[in-house]
């Protein structure tokens, strides 16, 4: 790695705003949020080895420089560890060269920098923090409050410490990524367990009904068809679970959408769900038919979750109402309404968060179901709205476009 002895402004702005560098920086900032104790030890070690009052590790963003770790940093930066990009010296290390300055007061570009005297920064040594694919994120920096000629030994020490710092940053990022992947897997298993109850319960209920209707061939045929649909539904849930690319609704593509007649589709879904509940599911539709572009399995899961929640959280002696309406030439909506305890305004804001438990702590709470609903409808470029009051009960309304989407949603 080359060593420079003056700031190079050529292409400095382009290096700061390089999309690949910023993407790498954003990923690491997300994965390594918070304090990294190993970095704190390294900057303190640098201070002791080089006998310096100030050492720090920085990330350089588009408009700010962030002190990721530091030793000897004065206020106000200790409490608010960032500076504007214009006051940053570390931005000049993005060239990929070590910057060794004996006295910044002799540098025309830095002599007028207002924060350098406040930091006690006279001599500066900065080693770039570089990823394995060559992206420079910031620097490991050493500062002296007096003029200093940096020796080869000192430069090598800081270079090795910078390499160690980068290794610690990447290690923390890898661990965070593994933890996130583990959490995602656990969430997928919970989703599958949550969703597969409905088709299995439907199949079980239909099997029990067949025993009652053995002499009624028409009823037996109808229930056997429902069992086959339920088994197919459960099988599809398992296949989607095994294919992690498809189970992540945010990554589903236009090829997953199919044109479906929505009124008939909802009627079939409700027919499969009715045997699971003691009370009625009443369907009202202002339209006879409407062709829409949807991800069929995903929207079935939305409807199933909303119906299940409506019965679970509603009063035990009331029916659930489903309503379908065409809004205009672009959108249609369907709603699920139940009568039950009013959901407070505070709760309404929390409902779509994964694993949220309601204030009454009933059975499983809202769990993952509503988080799933929001994710699916987002992919459909639609909207989810919920209202709850004493007179009208609780109504979840889904609004989505019925034309084919023009682009993939991520």
pLDDT in tens, 99-130: 999 999 999 889 889 999 999 999 999 999 99
Q: Is residue 294 in some structural domain?
A: yes
Same-domain check for residues 143 and 268: no
Distance, CA of 279 to CA of 274 (rounded, Å): 8
Q: Which of 210-214, 393-397, 402-406 has the highest mean pLDDT?
A: 393-397
pLDDT in tens, 262-280: 999 999 999 888 877 778 8
Q: What is the CATH number of the domain that holds 364?
A: 3.30.565.10
Looking at the predicted structure, is the pLDDT value of residue 76 above 90?
A: yes
Distance (Å, rounded) from C-alpha 358 to C-alpha 364?
9
229 is a domain residue: no
What's the structural domain count of the chain? 2
pLDDT at 247 over 70: no
Please check whether residue 190 lies inside any domain of the structure.
no
Indicate which CATH number applies to the domain containing 29. Answer: 3.30.450.40
Query: Is the residue at 266 inside a domain?
Result: yes
Based on the fold, state whether residues 41 and 133 are members of the same structural domain: yes
pLDDT tens figures, 327-374? 998 899 999 999 999 988 888 888 887 655 555 544 444 445 677 788
Is the bond preceding 247 in cis, omega lying within 30 degrees of 0? no
Q: What are the two backbone dihedrals, phi and then psi, of residue 334, each rounded to the nearest 5 degrees? A: -135, 150
Q: Residue 93 — very low, low, confident or very high, per pLDDT cuts 50/70/90?
A: very high
Domain boundary residue, one of 177, 192, 213: 177
Q: Which residues span the domain enclosing 39?
A: 3-177
Residue 362 lies in a domain: yes
The whole-model pTM stands at 0.52
Could you give the CA distance from residue 178 to residue 239 in angstroms, rounded to a whole number? 24
Mean pLDDT taken over the chain: 83
Same domain, 256 and 128: no
């Amino acid at each position: 790695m080359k060593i420079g002895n003056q700031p190079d402004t050529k292409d400095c702005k382009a290096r700061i705003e390089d999309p690949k560098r910023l993407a790498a920086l954003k990923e690491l900032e997300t994965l390594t949020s918070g304090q990294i104790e190993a970095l704190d030890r390294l900057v303190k070690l640098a201070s002791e080895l080089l006998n310096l009052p100030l050492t720090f590790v920085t990330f350089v963003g588009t408009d700010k420089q962030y002190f990721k770790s530091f030793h000897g940093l004065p206020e106000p930066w200790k409490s608010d560890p960032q500076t504007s990009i214009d006051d940053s010296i570390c931005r000049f290390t993005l060239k990929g060269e070590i910057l060794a300055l004996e006295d910044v007061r002799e540098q025309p570009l830095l002599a007028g920098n207002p924060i350098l005297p406040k930091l006690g920064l006279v001599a500066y040594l900065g080693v770039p923090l570089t990823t394995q694919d060559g992206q420079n994120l910031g620097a490991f920096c050493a500062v002296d409050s007096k003029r200093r000629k940096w020796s080869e030994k000192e430069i090598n020490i800081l270079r090795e410490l910078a390499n160690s710092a980068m290794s610690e940053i990447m290690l923390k990022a890898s661990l965070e990524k593994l933890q996130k992947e583990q959490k995602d897997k656990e969430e997928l298993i919970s989703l599958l367990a949550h969703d597969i109850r409905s088709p299995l319960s439907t199949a079980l209920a239909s099997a029990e009904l067949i025993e009652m209707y053995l002499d009624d061939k028409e009823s037996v045929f109808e229930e056997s068809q429902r069992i086959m649909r339920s088994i197919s539904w459960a099988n599809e849930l398992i296949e989607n679970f095994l294919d992690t690319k498809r189970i992540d609704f945010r990554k589903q593509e236009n090829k997953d959408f199919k044109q479906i007649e929505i009124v008939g589709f909802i009627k079939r879904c409700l027919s499969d769900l009715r045997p699971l509940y003691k009370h009625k599911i009443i369907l009202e539709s202002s339209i006879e038919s409407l062709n829409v572009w949807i991800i069929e399995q995903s929207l079935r899961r939305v409807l199933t979750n909303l119906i299940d929640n409506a019965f679970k959280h509603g009063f035990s002696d009331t029916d659930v109402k489903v309503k379908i309406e065409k809004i205009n030439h672009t959108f249609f909506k369907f709603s699920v309404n139940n009568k039950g305890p009013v959901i407070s305004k505070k709760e309404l804001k929390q409902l779509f968060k994964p694993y949220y438990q309601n204030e009454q702590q009933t059975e499983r709470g809202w769990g993952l179901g509503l988080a799933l609903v929001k994710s699916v409808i987002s992919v459909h470029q639609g909207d989810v709205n919920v209202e709850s009051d004493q007179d009208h009960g609780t109504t979840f309304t889904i609004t989505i476009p019925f034309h084919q989407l023009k682009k993939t949603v991520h």
